[in-house]
Amino acid sequence: MKRIALLGSRDISVEILKWIVEQNDCEIVGVVAPPFKGWWDDKLADTSVKLGIDTFDDIQNVIDLNPDVIFSINYWKLISEEHINSVNGNIINLHHSYRLKYRGRYSTSWAIANGEDYHGTTLHYITPKLDDGPIIESYKCVIKDTDTAEDLFDRVELLALRMFKDTYKKIIEDKVIDFIEPEPNPHYYDIDSNKDLEMDYGYPLKDIYDWVRAWSFKDRPGPYFTHNGKRIYLKL
């Protein structure tokens, strides 16, 4: 029986954890959950404790438990090469981008902002590079003309849950043989890539609309115009 650990945050990590428990085909040795709250009102730690699973806030704690496979489901830190090597590279990450075309932060927003026709989600083995490594599976969905970032994100979360369930057995039974090619020329965006969302009055109306819907997400401040020294924010 495989020994599994899970690193995660947000509702999807909770749903995946509960689903793995229901399969009753592995031993979950530990969960790493964030020691803070964000817009997602994280419930992973509470869920893990209620399920009787050892729960931590640092990856080293589960590394010390010698898991065979670690799933990273919206884990909030970059995982070091030392930690990757300690489990023979068997750390599998879930990242919201089809075939890792968008890497780093705000992938859903940038897919809309850049006028993509589709977006998606990917399961891949990790390397020390950000959102990089052999792709196990990747699902995609169409970006609708009316999608905000929040609309698309919620749809991709459901897509990711289905993809995980479809792929899980292949992973724990060591049947991952062939890998999917990543998208060529990937885009990288860091945590500061949404710091300046100011728009110009000369932008075409369609560009303004796409820019606003790309950054309409939860309670985050959206794009803005500056008028008489004041910021006028727009949001859908």
99 lies in the same domain as 165 = yes
* Residue 49 CA, distance from chain mean position: 23
Distance CA 107, CA 55 (A): 29
Q: Do 145 and 41 share a structural domain?
A: yes
Tally of structural domains, the chain: 2
Task: Please check whether residue 107 is in contact with residue 95, taking contact to mean a CB–CB distance below 8 angstroms.
Answer: yes
Q: Are residues 119 and 160 in the same domain?
A: yes
Residue-wise pLDDT tens digits, 25-84: 999 999 999 877 665 567 899 999 999 999 999 999 999 999 999 999 999 889 999 999
Residues 26 and 137 in one domain: yes
Q: Helix axis angle, 149-172 relative to 10-23, nearest 10°?
A: 30
pLDDT for 196:
82
- Does 36 lie in the same domain as 131? yes
Q: Is there a single domain that holds both residue 124 and residue 85?
A: yes
Same domain, 106 and 218: no
Of 90, 51, 88, nearest to 70 (Cα)?
90
In whole angstroms, give the CA distance from residue 147 to residue 125: 30
Site of tokens 């404790």: 49
Query: Do 196 and 88 share a structural domain?
Result: no
Do 228 and 115 fall into the same domain? no
The pLDDT mean for the chain works out to 93
Secondary structure element (H or E) that encloses residue 36, with its range: none
Distance CA 144, CA 118 (A): 8
Distance, C-alpha 43 to centroid of its chain: 16
Report, as an integer, the average pLDDT of 196-204.
87
174: number of Cβ within 10 Å: 11
pTM attached to this predicted model = 0.93
Q: Which domain holds residue 146?
A: 2-183
The C-alpha angle with vertex 19 and arms to 133 and 109, in degrees rounded to 5, equals 50
**In this structure, are 167 and 199 located in the same domain?**
no
What tokens does 23 get?
């399969």
Same domain, 222 and 145: no
